[in-house]
Structure 1
Amino acid sequence: MPAERLTPDWLAGEVRRLAGPDFTPATPLALAVSGGADSLALLWLAARAFGARAQVLTVDHGLRAEAAGECAMVESVAAAQGLEATRLTLAPPPNGQEAARLARYSAMAGVCRAKGIGHLLTAHHLDDQAETLLMRLARGSGLSGLAAIRPVSAFDGLLLLRPLLGHGRGDLRAIVEAAGWRPADDPSNRDPRYDRTHARALLAQTPWLEAERLAASAAHLADAEAAMLWIDERLWEGRSGEAGGRLWLDPEALPPYLRRRLLARAFRALEAPAPDGPALTRLLQRLEAGAGGTLGGLRVRAAAGRWWLSAAPPPRRG
């Protein structure tokens, strides 16, 4: 995507497109700004695209001594752009990056609810998308996982918008350099304990792995997943029902992939914990053999050409 397209007017139009018709010139929004180059570029663009109705949220997890100073820098930059900034100070998460991410988004969602804000913009970009696809491939993810980062998603009543997914890290850094800002440097981005560090290094060291093409593949996979969700609805309407207090599924003549999706949908319909991939595969194998099993609090059995699901009885006490 040409760098010249990355303008405040372009951002305003892209956010309107992602947010949908309810997003008006008066709709408030929030920006997740860590102080890195990516999020500072988002701040610069949003300040000019939306003015004071854009509010900045910055989070200090207490993981690094520099974090408080980085939050102060974000607050100073935001104030200079005429934007209100809120600092969220959280306790260090006990279980690594994923726990930190969830805590961060939960805290920002709480602030947004309190302020009557329904949209949060993040600075995820094209290189993030390419790295995520490589990480998901390495983990053996299915179609939904390989669709990688979505432009729009929901979290705790908040709509997360990622308008910069079509632009690369270099485009965003150029905005920050032109503004004369010095972005924060998070050493965790180079920490070899994290998969993303290795994915980023692989992209940098492998010329034929182009971030733009990988991101395009993720977008194609997202389109395919959207089509499969449409198919899921039609399958559910015609291949499921209830009898004798049990949910039944009709897998006859379905390709294995659709059988798998139909079974996974049944777990969601019964509000059972979503099974992981290997556990679902083992259950499918038992059903194909005419047996069944217990998974996620559900008893699943094959009988009379159908699969039957019901709540599993509690374990017997000795």
Structure 2
Amino acid sequence: MPTPNAPPEALLDRFLSDCRRVAPVARDERIGLGVSGGPDSLALLLLAHATFGASVEAATVDHRLRPESTEEAEFVAAICHDLGIRHTVLTLPGRRRGNLGQWARELRYAQLREWASGQKLAWLMTAHHADDQLETVVMRLNRGSGVGGMSGIRARNGNVVRPLLGWRHNELVGIVRASGLGAIDDPSNRDDRYDRARLRKALATADWLDPLAAVTMAAALDEADEALAWASRRVGNERVVREGDELIFDARDLPPEIERRVVAGCIRLLNAKAKLDGPKVTRLLNTLRGAGKSTLDGVACDARGTGWVFRLAPERATGRTG
């Protein structure tokens, strides 16, 4: 396989600027890339290699959901070999369960994070782009998500960074074509059994929707979400007290969203494994505002005087002390 052509300097300058806008990425820091072999991740591979050189390593997650997946991982390995990039193939452990897409996504990130940690990589980059952001925002809008959900794909989450959110998919396809490489075509991207695939087809005909505007909006909401989280932590520190095995929250005269976040924080303090979706928390808040009581994810919650009280439900408390 001939060595791929490097992207032009103007694109490399843009890529480096976007990396540093997202995170303080230094040229001498070791960087990991999640590369599937599709055009977006191959473009990331080419841009990162030409920008950061020997600092870059790559990993491909073989989901083993399609017969071609192992061959596709080998295809990426061959490209990395030609570029002089260290490459690792990761496989998903355990049996599939629940929502297939969610299962694969959660384990994929877990595997990539573990790999990056084991290799002592400073950053882990993925190739999410503006069109991905638009799809995510529309999907979450359709589900009635709040501020956090509508912030979409975050440009940075810990050491996971996504420097291509300001790039369009067709730009990334162009980079790969100009390099002389082919890219893997995953048929699941067009499979109508998947919500995202159906949405992608619909958005392809909606030229009045601007993916870059969705990126700007999501970034603004991400900042708003961070501000709300900061305010909620301050309120929690000031208004939540522990008395024995109970947490008591003085929720008087607070905005509903701050109430929601502090209540969720109280529940997670008592049960770190709590899975708090929006409708559950909304129902609990309505109950507490009406001076009622309820149990959510193993935590008993009730209104008492001027406070809302949270404690482990008896059956969970018994289980913890046994």
TM-score scaled by length of structure 2: 0.89
Residue equivalent to 1:252: 252
Correspondence for 2:154 among 144, 150, 156: 150
Counterpart of 1:97 (choices 95, 101, 123) is 101
User: Following the alignment from structure 1 to structure 2, what is the Cα–Cα distance between the partners of residues 9 and 267?
Assistant: 46
Looking at structure 2, the residues matched to 93 and 170 of structure 1 have their Cα atoms a distance apart, in angstroms, of: 35
For each residue in 1:45-77, what CA deviation from the matched residue of structure 2 results, as whole angstroms up to 9, or x when unmatched? 011111122011112222222222222221121
Aligned residue number for residue 116 of structure 2: 112
Equivalent residue, structure 2, for 1:222? 222
3-state SS of paired residue (2:266): helix
Match of 1:85 among 84, 87, 97: 87
**Do the aligned residues in 2 keep the contact of 1:247 with 1:310 (CA within 8 Å)?**
yes
- Map of 1:1-318 to 2, 5 A cutoff? 7-20=11-24, 23-90=25-92, 93-95=95-97, 96-154=100-158, 159-272=159-272, 273-314=274-315
Q: Partner of 1:254: helix, strand, or coil? A: coil
Q: Is the 8 A contact 1:30 1:112 kept in 2?
A: yes
Q: Deviations for 1:277-298, whole angstroms, at most 9, x for unmatched residues?
A: 2221121111111111111111
- Deviating more after overlay: 234-243 vs 124-133: 234-243
Partner of 2:4: none
Contact between 2:298 and 2:316, CA under 8 Å: does it hold in 1? no
Distance apart, 1:253 and its partner CA = 1.4
SS in 2 for 1:314: helix
- The 1:85–1:316 alpha-carbon spacing in structure 2 relative to 1, beyond 3 Å, is closer
For 2:238 and 2:8, how far apart are their aligned partners in 1? 49
CA apart distance, 1:108: 2.2
Alignment partners' CA distance in 1, 2:305 and 2:94: 54
* TM-score where L is the length of structure 1: 0.90
* 1:71-91 alpha-carbon deviations (Å, 9 max, x no partner): 222112112222111122346
Alignment partners' CA distance in 1, 2:198 and 2:179: 30
SS in 2 for 1:307: strand
C-alpha deviation, 1:165, in angstroms: 0.5
**Aligned counterparts of 2:23 and 2:214: Cα–Cα separation in 1:** 25
CA contact (8 A) 1:93 1:100 kept: no
Contact persistence 1:31–1:121 (CA under 8 A): yes
Per-residue deviation, 1:316: 12
Report the residue type matching 1:101 in the other structure. R
Contact 2:42 2:176 in 1 (8 A): yes
Tell me whether 162-171 or 61-70 shows the greater mean CA deviation. 61-70
User: Partner amino acid for 1:309?
Assistant: F
Provide the rounded CA distance (Å) in 1 between the counterparts of 2:240 and 2:267.
12
What is the DSSP-based 3-state SS (H/G/I as helix, E as strand, rest coil) of the residue aligned with 2:315?
A: coil
Percent identity reads 39
**Contact 2:27–2:55, Cα closer than 8 Å, also in 1:** no
- Distance, in Å, in 2 between the alignment partners of 1:274 and 1:67 is 32
SS at match of 2:59: strand
State the Cα distance separating 1:92 from its structure 2 match.
Answer: 8.0
Find the aligned partners of 1:215 and 1:233 in 2 and give their Cα distance.
27
Output the CA distance in 1 between the equivalents of 2:226 and 2:289.
27
Deviation of residue 41 (structure 1)?
A: 0.3
- CA, structure 1 residues 4+211, in 2 after alignment: closer, same or farther (shift >3 Å)? farther
CA–CA separation in structure 1 for the residues paired with 2:148 and 2:277: 13
RMSD: 2.2
Separation in 2, partners of 1:238, 1:93: 45
Q: Is the 8 A contact 1:93 1:103 kept in 2?
A: no
Is the 2:229–2:261 contact (alpha carbons within 8 Å) kept by the matching residues of 1? no
What CA deviation, in whole Å up to 9, does each residue of 1:130-171 have, x standing for no partner? 0000111111111111101001113xxxx2110000111011
Aligned-pair CA distance for 1:93: 5.0
Amino acid at match of 2:304: A
Q: Secondary structure at the match of 1:78?
A: helix
Moved over 6 A (4+): 3-6
Change (3 A) 1:248 1:4: farther
